[in-house]
Amino acid sequence: MDFVEQLKSSVDIVSVIGEYVRLRRSGAQRYMGLCPFHNEKSPSFTVHVVHQFYKCFSCGVHGDVIKFVMEKDGLSFYEALKSLAERYGIAMPKRSQYADEDSKLRGALLAMHEAAQENFAANLKSQAGEAARAYIAKRGLAPEAVEHFGLGYSDRTGRALIRLFEQRGFAVAQMEQSGLVGKRQDGSLYGRFRNRLMFPIHNESGKIIGFGGRALAAEDEPKYLNSPETDIYKKSYVLYNLHRAKETVRKEDRVILVEGYMDAIGVTAAGFGNVVASCGTALTETQVKAIKRHTHRVAVNFDPDTAGANAAERSIDLLLAEGMQVRIAELEDGLDPDEYCNKHGSEVYATRIENAKGYFYWVADRARAKHDMRTGEGKVEVLKLLVPRVQKISDPLERMTVANDLAGYMGVDKSLVLDYFRKAVNQRQDRKPAAPKNPLRPDERMLLIAVLTEPEWREEVLSRMKEMEALGTLESRRIFGAAFALAEAGGRLSFDEVNARLAEADQNLLAQALLNEDCEITREEVTAALESMRRSEAQYRRSQLKARISESERSGKIEEAMRLTLELQGLERTAREARR
């Protein structure tokens, strides 16, 4: 068994994919969830437990656990192997044939970020870090939180960091590509982050891929400086603290979304494990999907002064469009979440989150505060604010429910509001993806499954199928062909082996055959399938014979036609007897 096979057999694809997708068991051997590769409302992403592969019946993505990790984490083949091997404590072969240039560069960038992290953390403890420590103290952060979040300090030049990179053998080109080092026109290098409090930014699997740096001197601009995009850091993919928070988010089925690094750290330190930060910019679709893989419920807790600002507004729109349930947590006295936790304690903050209003009620309240709801114009103004937002709810039933509730809440005539929304619903024309149809006959599907899953029937099924003249008429002929070839070569007859020998269209066919229904089959079912195959084989032979008879008659070969007719009569007799 080579390393890839060994890895795949020791890794459970359901638990690996389960870290990214909320999977629900949908059969003895299948799990289903919302596809992480396209936007969907009802699940068509399926994972097969026994054969260890996934397939989406809407967008068509499919593959094994390695491919999944490659696509989801943006890794090369080698990196995906490594990441899985690490997660499951499997030793990688020493000299590996899988390393390529891309993964070498990314490996170097990750190592440089580790080194930078060491450097920044050490700086924070040194004399040079005094101003940074003072800022941390002013913000009321405990040493444990500083440690937990790996806070650091970038000194005034970055020379020590560059020296460290040189000592560890990183090339200048790699340093530039890390985004941590800049190059002046005269060719000399400088640290990109200078005199800043440093926040390491991790990807979802917990590797440092970038930094955020907060200016400590009032004259330094910008206040927050982030790593530029690099081969390992794609801003639109990353949410601050998600790698730590995701487990709690899933457990509590809710995420608290805050704006800044300090908010995330302060709220976590107050005892809330389910906090992630957008870091000041509006969320991207990828980020929302990253959240959605873990929960559908989000409590938005942006700074009060920016709650109405564009970024927050756009983030909320995107969350709604992705079908998230959005609540808005409001904090009094104009405090940031971390300041609030410091001042009022975690219990009070917990009630703020607990009592967070549904987004629409929050908008309604804000509108009501501005407009006089006793007047007709006031009501119209408020509706104008609410209606376009409610329309963004993608689920029609939920949209109607919210509209109905809001009309009641605002004291507006319900029938009027509902009528408006009913029209909007019709315009949207929501459609559901059709259930995948299986182009295989039930008997060929059954036999295919028997060959792939049940060694005891494999030989019998294969030899019977091989004799069939009608095999060429079956959709699965190339799949069986691959199985014959493997069996002849004495190879392992696993899903992977067969799958690897198929073209895309047949791979799809095979995946559908295995995923459409459960594959646990009984002796009786296999016998029945073989019998049904036998009948269609006999029928096929009879129709072939008939064709040859008329061909012979046409070309005047009467004796040949007579002989074939006798043969046909024999076959028909056998068929009649079998039916009795």
Residues that bind Zn ion (CB under 5 A): 35, 37-38, 56, 58-59
Kindly provide the residue ranges of all beta strands, DSSP E only, lying in 28-72, ordered along the sequence: 30-33, 45-48, 53-56, 62-63
As measured in angstroms, the least distance from the Cβ of 42 to Zn ion is 11
Nearest residue (CB) to Zn ion, 58 versus 203: 58
CB 31 within 8 A of CB 24: yes
Nearest residue (CB) to Zn ion, 43 versus 129: 43
As measured in angstroms, the least distance from the Cβ of 43 to Zn ion is 10
As measured in angstroms, the least distance from the Cβ of 58 to Zn ion is 5
Nearest residue (CB) to Zn ion, 91 versus 435: 435
Nearest residue (CB) to Zn ion, 35 versus 462: 35
As measured in angstroms, the least distance from the Cβ of 83 to Zn ion is 22
As measured in angstroms, the least distance from the Cβ of 67 to Zn ion is 14
Q: How far apart are CA 367 and CA 277, in angstroms?
A: 27
Tokens of 179: 């985004």
Nearest residue (CB) to Zn ion, 58 versus 499: 58
As measured in angstroms, the least distance from the Cβ of 39 to Zn ion is 9
Task: List, in order, residues 6 or more apart from 157 with CB less than 8 Å away.
Answer: 190, 191, 194
Nearest residue (CB) to Zn ion, 35 versus 514: 35
Nearest residue (CB) to Zn ion, 154 versus 512: 512
Q: How far apart are CA 215 and CA 516, in angstroms?
A: 56
DSSP 8-state assignment for residue 438: P
Q: Report how far apart, in Å, the C-alpha atoms of 22 and of each of 18, 43, 59, 435 are.
A: 6, 10, 18, 20
As measured in angstroms, the least distance from the Cβ of 38 to Zn ion is 4
As measured in angstroms, the least distance from the Cβ of 62 to Zn ion is 10
Please name every residue paired with 56 in a beta bridge, in sequence order, or none if there are none: 45
Nearest residue (CB) to Zn ion, 40 versus 259: 40
Q: How far apart are CA 415 and CA 207, in angstroms?
A: 54
As measured in angstroms, the least distance from the Cβ of 60 to Zn ion is 7
As measured in angstroms, the least distance from the Cβ of 507 to Zn ion is 16
Q: How far apart are CA 336 and CA 341, in angstroms?
A: 9
User: Closest Cα to residue 359, out of 416, 423, 412, 301?
Assistant: 301
Task: Output b/e per residue, 72-95; b: 16+ Cβ within 10 A.
Answer: bbebbbbbbbbbbbeeeeeeeeee
DSSP string, 237-287: G--BTHHHHHHHHHHHT-EEEESSHHHHHHHHHTT---EEE-TTSPPPHHH
Task: List, in order, residues 6 or more apart from 404 with CB less than 8 Å away.
Answer: 414, 417, 418
CB 139 within 8 A of CB 180: no
Nearest residue (CB) to Zn ion, 52 versus 58: 58
**Long-range contacts made by residues 178-184, C-beta under 8 angstroms, separation at least 24?**
178/109, 178/112, 178/113, 178/116, 178/230, 179/210, 179/227, 179/228, 179/229, 179/230, 179/233, 180/112, 180/113, 180/116, 180/211, 180/227
Nearest residue (CB) to Zn ion, 37 versus 224: 37
